[in-house]
Chains A and B, each alone.
Chain A
């Protein structure tokens, strides 16, 4: 069993009132077409990489995202839209956890193994992620919409 070293750990809870502005400033643009949950993930992931002094996530690193809330506001929106038979494409895409992975890949200019994997037991999520991980380590976050975003950048010792 290998041991792990945490390069950075950030948590935003409660969220700063201007977190969206902070993110836009850091990225140099406002993220487009992603929902509030994905935007919050991006905010936390970017903070974490900055704290680890990594301008970009290393190629070969793995990314995992978990959340009990999921993209709940988008899910409510599309369910309402579905009652009328008309769904807005971006609302549907924002209801999918996969879009958080696409947004992180796009804005971190990174390609690799990223997954949304959830278990009630946070330790089980971390343990599985660490087992799936190679030498370049792991970026893992828990993101609860409108509430908090918490991220770790970890590598094997």
Chain B
């Protein structure tokens, strides 16, 4: 079995067009979401990538090419597997054109063509857990020797369907996201394109393990037993015990019910809880891209010590305070994403320089 490492990463988000710019914005207190007008007088906050182009496809192509290049994946051979993780794929283009030619794989193959990528192309769509599931699949192929590198792309770009769909489900906050916050009212969605370049060649961050657990009892929310199973399976696959984890990046999207469910379940596994980090107040909930986007941003935060700050009261009843500064000497990190559709996914990262 090969070990699998994070060889490079890229991220375009509301914080900026690349990780470096994003970290500067984060160090200066972050950015505010803009308003996304749906029509009919409906509008919701949305963390948007500040890159304006009326042509959805041209914008997506430009951002994707840039972010993939940031990850270093385009500098070498492009023959490994490419995983495109998204909930919305190219619905932003389709809702404008009304064109439903092509099938469910067409967008991922279009992305591969944008990148001149020659390896096998996979679409992963498991709602919010798409990015982490893509990462787990890419890890499997490298680990088993079927590839020596892979590129995971998480893409979630502006469209009316997603914002309207979440609005219709009454899951969105009217103004801002307050993960684990006392006054949390729901999610704020965000745009992101994230690239994680994985390799069998040794580098700082090792993908130690992970797990994906689906439980459909509540198709729109987290299931406590599934969160517990996810954590335990992710730890077991990494050969670790709960006390080995020094930092957890939970889903923590700002949902009144889900945040409480998640915090309660985490406390069942981890006693005491290690430091907690949330990035959704900085970039929003980027849905299918969230796993890849938050891994990219979190590892960059841990490397630089730049840390998201919180100007709101946290919910003391959760007994799960978010860290207000970068924790020191973090060797093992558990990063999880919970999704509608009963998805609960986590990966464990090892910082080999900690």
Chain A residues at the B interface, C-beta cutoff of 8 Å: 33, 63, 67-70, 72, 75-76, 78-79, 81-89, 92-93, 95-99, 101-107, 111-121, 124-125, 127-128, 131-132
| Known A96-B340, A117-B137: A68·B104 in contact at CB below 8 Å | yes
Q: Does B341 contact A (CB under 8 A)?
A: yes
A40 to chain B, nearest CB (A): 15
From the candidates B144, B168, B340, name the one contacting A87 in the complex (CB within 8 A): B168
If A95-B161, A106-B216, A124-B120 touch, whether A85 touches B39 (CB-CB below 8 Å) is yes
Hey, which bits of chain B sit against chain A, CB under 8 A? Answer: 38-42, 87, 91, 94-95, 98, 100, 103-105, 108-109, 120-127, 129, 133, 136-137, 140-141, 144, 146, 159-161, 164-170, 211-217, 219-220, 223, 225-226, 229, 339-343
CB of A116 within 8 A of CB of B124, answer yes
- Residues of B contacting A: mostly: mixed
Given contacts A96-B125, A105-B214, 19 further A-B contacts (CB under 8 A): A69-B104, A70-B103, A79-B94, A85-B38, A89-B169, A92-B168, A93-B220, A95-B165, A98-B341, A101-B126, A107-B216, A111-B215, A114-B212, A115-B137, A117-B123, A119-B120, A124-B122, A128-B140, A132-B137
Closest chain B CB from A21 CB (angstroms): 23
Chain A, residue nearest B133 (CB): A115
Q: How many A-B residue pairs have CB under 8 A?
A: 177
Using known A-B contacts A102-B219, A111-B225, A132-B140, determine if residue A117 contacts B122 with beta carbons closer than 8 Å.
yes
> Are the CB atoms of B126 and A118 closer together than 8 Å?
no
Closest to A98 in B: B341
Pick the 10 closest A-B CB pairs, nearest first: A98-B341, A92-B165, A105-B216, A102-B216, A85-B40, A70-B104, A98-B127, A106-B216, A85-B39, A87-B164
Q: Kindly list chain B residues whose C-beta atoms are within 8 Å of the C-beta of A95.
A: 161, 165
In the complex, chain B residues whose CB is within 8 Å of the CB of A72: 100, 104
Q: Are B123 and A79 in contact (CB under 8 A)?
A: no
Residue contact B120 to A115, C-beta cutoff 8 Å: no
From B95, B140, B167, B219, A83 is in contact (CB under 8 Å) with B95
Q: Which residue of A lies closest to B138 (CB)?
A: A128
Whether B126 lies near A104 (C-beta < 8 A) is no
Residues in B whose Cβ lies below 8 Å from that of A118: 104-105, 108, 122-125
List B contacts of A75 (CB < 8 A): 91, 94, 100
Bound CA–CA A67/B125 (angstroms): 11
A114-B226 Cα distance, complex, nearest whole Å: 13
Q: A102-B214, A113-B211, A115-B212 are in contact. Are A79 and B161 (CB under 8 A)?
A: yes
Contacts of A83 in B (CB 8 A): 39, 95, 160
CA distance A97 to B144 in the complex (A): 27
Instruction: Give Cα A83–Cα B184 distance, bound, in whole angstroms.
Output: 30
Chain B residues, CB < 8 A from A82:
38, 95, 159-161, 164
**Chain B minimum-CB-distance residue to A116:** B125
Provide the bound-state CA to CA distance between A96 and B120, in Å.
Answer: 23
Q: Is the CB of A89 within 8 A of B168?
A: yes
Cα distance A33–B126 in the bound complex, in angstroms: 18
Q: Report the Cα distance A29→B142, complex, angstroms.
A: 44
The answer for the CA separation of A128 and B95 in the assembled complex, in Å, is 32
Knowing A93-B169, A119-B120 are in contact, say whether A84-B39 is a contact too (CB < 8 A): yes
Contacts of B164 in A (CB 8 A): 78, 81-82, 85-87, 92
Report the Cα distance A109→B342, complex, angstroms: 13
